[in-house]
Copies of this chain bind each other. A is one copy, B any other.
Amino acid sequence: MMNHSPYMPTDPFLVSYYDCLPNFHTGDDSPRAFLERCLKKIESREDEVRAFTALDIEGAREAADRATLRYGEGRVLSLVDGMPIGVKDVIDTADLPTQMGSPLFREWRPRFDAASVSALRQAGAVILGKTVTTEFAAVVPGPTRNPFDQNRTPGGSSSGSAAAVGIGMIPAGLGTQVIGSITRPASYCGCYGYKPTVGAVNRGGSLDYMSQSTQGVLAASLDDAWAVIYAISARVGGDPGFPGLYGGEDPGPESGPARLIRLDTAGWDRVDENTRGVFDDALDRLRSAGVEIIGRRDNRLIETYEETIAEGLDISRSINTWEFHWPLLTFEDRIPGHLSDIMEGRLEAAGAMTPADYRTWIAKRDQARDLHRELAAIADGFITLGATGAAPVGLDSTGDPAFSLPASYIGCPAVTVPCLSVDGMPLGIQVIGFADEDEGLFSQARWIEGLLLHRR
């Protein structure tokens, strides 16, 4: 049952903060007025969408007023100064509860902010609220519904950020992705999803101890997405030991790719005809605009790569299970009985694993990453869908992560652009780049977005 008229990617659901910056400078608009528009949308839709676990409306108004003052006085701190941001509820916030999608952390309040939150506050951003996550950013869903059909999942694990941004409650929400948690919900909810290169964003102070996880953002535009991630990385860097985000405050102009690899990964057998048709049309438009699209039949190296990442989902799950041994061990030891059956199963599975098993898996992942790097000699990037179709009906599962997995497994950056639709629901195009070349990926995504959204 549709609750709203069919989604069209050109409908103005998304609320970009970046686009309003000129009017903040002239005084025709203000961060406080922007916030009030967000609050109005939240008031009208939150009861049904359930994107937030907590809101700090008074604190947000005060912060937005301070930003408005800075705009008036020409003391603007950054491109995100005054931007209302939602924070996935596995990321610590000192002003708001951080409940990890788990009864184990009900009403839990950290004393300090996570690295990203701390950096965003320094940059003047307004931490408006916490957004729903699955249990520990894994698979057990929270209460969020898809804003375009409340019988469908918003995707996960960054469910609340995707739904809130998709329907225009906020211009940006922090997310994390270890398998499918940013680009998939972005596709389902019709917003932009940016999963940076692994290690590019400091994850300190979040419940996120997995080696292929990355903190990223669900956003109303590419500019909003970049502004948020840049603001964090410029202030607190990437994960310790990683070079952090490469690129300037502005990711640079659009640039059309000469050649893209169409990923033919696991999951395509589950894509329906309508969805295939929509994707093929998009590829045709790219071809018409001069982009060469190649695939596994065109090049032996691509075929080898596809075969290598076919085992990526199983290996990723094994890696995650071992890396989750702690903290699950202490969760169950200190405050027993609060894990989902799925997490209890993982704890048990991890107990049967050894460091030698883990080494085998990360060695295989390293091999896949090496292969991925080799493909830079062949193409400018990769193109696929953000998910295997529109958000599926039902709230018990967050959907199929197959198309998000490759970028997670490889640790390379990926962007989902909300420029397609199927069955009256959003569908994203996903562009995948090469590690540490997030800036170049944005230039390509910007060009592809312009083409597919008929902006040129």
Contacts and interface: CB of A to CB of B under 8 A. Distances in A.
Contacts of A209: 204, 240
A211 B237 CA distance: 12
A298 interface: no
A247 to B, nearest CB: 10
11 contacts: A111-B335, A112-B330, A112-B331, A118-B330, A122-B333, A210-B240, A211-B241, A235-B325, A243-B355, A243-B359, A245-B355
B358 A237 contact: yes
8 residue pairs, one from A and one from B, having the closest CB atoms: A211-B241, A211-B240, A115-B326, A244-B355, A118-B330, A236-B326, A112-B330, A113-B330
A327 B114 CA distance: 8
Interface string A326-342: 11011101110000000
Contacts of A380: none
Contact of A362 (B121, B122, B241, B354): B241
Contact of A330 (B205, B333, B359): B205
A119 interface: yes
A349 interface: no
A238 interface: yes
Nearest to A334: B94
A326 B215 CA distance: 15
Nearest to A112: B330
Contacts of A359: 243-244
A326 B243 contact: no
A202 B362 contact: no
Tell me which of A209, A212, A233 has the highest count of chain B C-beta atoms within 10 A of its own C-beta: A209
Contacts of A241: 211-212, 362
A234 interface: yes
A109 to B, nearest CB: 11
Given A94-B334, A111-B334, A335-B111, A323 B240 contact: yes
A122 B210 CA distance: 21
A139 to B, nearest CB: 19
A434 interface: no
Nearest to A355: B244
A412 to B, nearest CB: 15
A312 to B, nearest CB: 16
Interface in A334-365: 334-335, 354-355, 358-359, 362
Interface of A: 94, 111-115, 117-119, 121-122, 202, 204-205, 209-212, 233-238, 240-241, 243-245, 322-323, 325-327, 329-331, 333-335, 354-355, 358-359, 362
Contacts of A334: 94, 111-113
Contact of A326 (B202, B234, B330): B202
Contact of A112 (B112, B234, B244, B327): B327
A206 to B, nearest CB: 11
Given A114-B326, A117-B330, A236-B325, 9 more contacts: A112-B327, A112-B334, A113-B334, A202-B326, A204-B326, A209-B240, A234-B355, A244-B359, A245-B355
B355 A118 contact: no
B355 A237 contact: yes
Given A358-B244, A362-B243, A237 B333 contact: no
Contacts of A94: 330, 334
Contact of A354 (B118, B212, B234, B329): B234
A146 B330 CA distance: 34
Given A94-B334, A359-B243, A362-B241, A326 B205 contact: yes
A37 to B, nearest CB: 28
Given A355-B244, A358-B244, A113 B333 contact: yes
Nearest to A122: B329
A42 to B, nearest CB: 26
A241 B208 CA distance: 13
Contacts of A323: 237, 240
A323 to B, nearest CB: 5
